[in-house]
Amino acid sequence: MNFWANKNISLIVSGGIAAYRACDLIRIFRKDGAKVSVVTTKSALEFVTELSFQALSGEHVNSDLFSPIQADGMDHIHQTKTSDLMVIAPATANLIAKMAMGLADDLATATILAYDGPKLVAPAMNSRMWLNPATQRNVAQLKQDGVQFIDPQSGSLACGEDGEGRLAPIEHIVEAAQSALSKKILAGHRILITAGPTHEALDPVRYISNHSSGKMGLSICRAALYAGAEVVLIHGPINLEPPPGAELHPVTSAQEMYDQSMAAWEAGCSGAILTAAVGDFRPVQQKSDKIKKNSDSDKLTMELTVNPDILATLAAKKSGGVVVGFAAETGKSLERGREKMARKNCDLLVINDLMEPGSGFATDTNRVTLLHNSGKEEPWPLLSKDKVAEKLIQTIATLLNGVKQNG
């Protein structure tokens, strides 16, 4: 089932220019199946109409504590009883100050005060307002009270100034919301993830690589973060933005990925999920000058050597923890996967056949079979890469229960 199905989000919108971006937030939550109940401050409606919020949320939108539309005048209490999460976005300096003081002088603040579930605040304001000691004091107080913040970003602001105060990207707010609602089944675990391709340089301008996009690795990184793990992400050259919260180690070559992975593992990790499409070979000699065509020959011969195998090395040296490999095959995938599992001796191997419809490097879906070292084989149906990641993280969390940490 989709993560957001049957989830109730209470969205509080306050009056800043970024109020229009709350529309996107409603759209994304609803697209994924959540119910969104919107309460706005009066000033939010100076920027976006009630009708827009209503059309997008499909629900009646409230801003008035004394509205006669309410059956019994207790909407701020009823709504808080059914919400799984309260998201306050954008949050102005004024709303944050009222929250810190526990004021309840309108429907938005009364609803916030009456809610005792998890709260996520995404501030947006002028940078001097954000950096003002009064605002920072209020933010610190709310954090101490257990309220989670998605800090604003730096950039050009609506007032024409440059600085810190822009509402965080909507995807980051959605990710933080999913994280807030996820069970912390990997809390206390540090997980190493490799992702993307590697580039094996031939000369200063050319390299050997593959079509890996890094998508599967980033989905796993996100799922591990949602599950409360500390994540060390060692990734090759990719065009996708890694999720916020992971410790990032960008690398280029297989050797660099190997060195960084060994260092991270030695520093103490309880799991390694190696999704990277590591280059198997590199030139024995990398040319320091660009290789030129030779007018006497239409051939180029180059000697290649095998790169070190991160998965096999980690699986061999581990004294605890769970090591997971991925095998992207192009036919006879189960047979080749079993052979790979035996050769690399990891705890789990996720096999996918690149030739199968819906599976492959740049797709959003994957049909995989999960092999356990015990010989158990689990064919999973065609799923989104996010869902594959979520299921894999659940399996790893189950295995880690009772398995001692490496290092």
Active centre residues (catalytic): 159
For position 356 contacting ligand CTP by CB under 6 A, the verdict is no
Mention every residue, 6+ apart, whose C-beta is less than 8 A from residue 42.
15, 63, 64, 106
For position 29 contacting ligand CTP by CB under 6 A, the verdict is no
Q: Based on CB atoms, which residue is closest to ligand CTP, 11 or 392?
A: 392
Please state the separation of Cα 375 from the chain's center in Å.
31
Binding part of the chain for ligand CTP, among 72-80, 84-92, 322-330, 382-390 by CB under 6 A, reads 322-330
Instruction: Work out which of 327, 341, 371, 392 binds ligand CTP, going by CB under 6 A.
Output: 327
- 8-13 vs 85-91, strand pairing mode: parallel
Closest distance between ligand CTP and the C-beta of residue 346, in Å? 8
For position 274 contacting ligand CTP by CB under 6 A, the verdict is yes
How many residues of this chain interact with ligand CTP, rule: CB under 6 A? 14
Q: Please, are residues 376 and 399 in contact by the beta-carbon 8 Å criterion?
A: no
For position 280 contacting ligand CTP by CB under 6 A, the verdict is yes
Q: Give strand pairing partners of 329.
A: 353
Closest distance between ligand CTP and the C-beta of residue 300, in Å? 23
Binding part of the chain for ligand CTP, among 48-56, 124-132, 171-179, 309-317 by CB under 6 A, reads 309-317
Binding part of the chain for ligand CTP, among 49-57, 106-114, 174-182, 276-284 by CB under 6 A, reads 276-284
Comparing CA positions, the residue from 264, 269, 224, 231 lying closest to residue 396 is 224
Q: Please, are residues 183 and 227 in contact by the beta-carbon 8 Å criterion?
A: yes
Q: Which helix (H) or strand (E) holds 310?
A: helix 310-317
Instruction: Work out which of 86, 120, 185, 254 binds ligand CTP, going by CB under 6 A.
Output: 254
For position 193 contacting ligand CTP by CB under 6 A, the verdict is no
Comparing CA positions, the residue from 215, 174, 171 lying closest to residue 193 is 215
Closest distance between ligand CTP and the C-beta of residue 342, in Å? 12
Comparing CA positions, the residue from 330, 335, 311, 333 lying closest to residue 322 is 311
| Strand blocks (E) in 176-277 | 190-195, 200-201, 207-208, 230-235, 247-250, 271-274
For position 325 contacting ligand CTP by CB under 6 A, the verdict is yes
Please state the separation of Cα 208 from the chain's center in Å.
29
Binding part of the chain for ligand CTP, among 170-178, 262-270, 287-295, 323-331 by CB under 6 A, reads 323-331
Binding part of the chain for ligand CTP, among 13-21, 231-239, 321-329, 351-359 by CB under 6 A, reads 321-329
Residue nearest to ligand CTP (CB): 310
Instruction: Work out which of 75, 200, 309, 386 binds ligand CTP, going by CB under 6 A.
Output: 309
Closest distance between ligand CTP and the C-beta of residue 3, in Å? 26
Instruction: Work out which of 310, 341, 393, 397 binds ligand CTP, going by CB under 6 A.
Output: 310
Q: Based on CB atoms, which residue is closest to ligand CTP, 226 or 326?
A: 326
Burial 47-76 (b: 16+ CB within 10 A, else e): bbeeebbeebbeeebbbebeeeebeeeebb
The whole-angstrom separation of Cα 256 and Cα 259 is 5
Q: How far separated are the first and last CA of the chain, in Å rounded?
A: 37
Instruction: Work out which of 165, 326, 351, 360 binds ligand CTP, going by CB under 6 A.
Output: 326
The whole-angstrom separation of Cα 3 and Cα 34 is 9
Instruction: Work out which of 311, 388, 392, 400 binds ligand CTP, going by CB under 6 A.
Output: 311
Comparing CA positions, the residue from 192, 181, 199 lying closest to residue 217 is 192
Q: Mapping DSSP to helix (H, G, I), strand (E, B) and coil, where does residue 259 land?
A: helix
Question: Which residue's structure tokens are 């199946």?
Answer: 33
Closest distance between ligand CTP and the C-beta of residue 325, in Å? 4
Q: Please, are residues 30 and 3 in contact by the beta-carbon 8 Å criterion?
A: no
Q: Which residues bind ligand CTP (CB under 6 A)?
A: 194, 254, 274, 276, 278, 280, 307, 309-311, 325-328
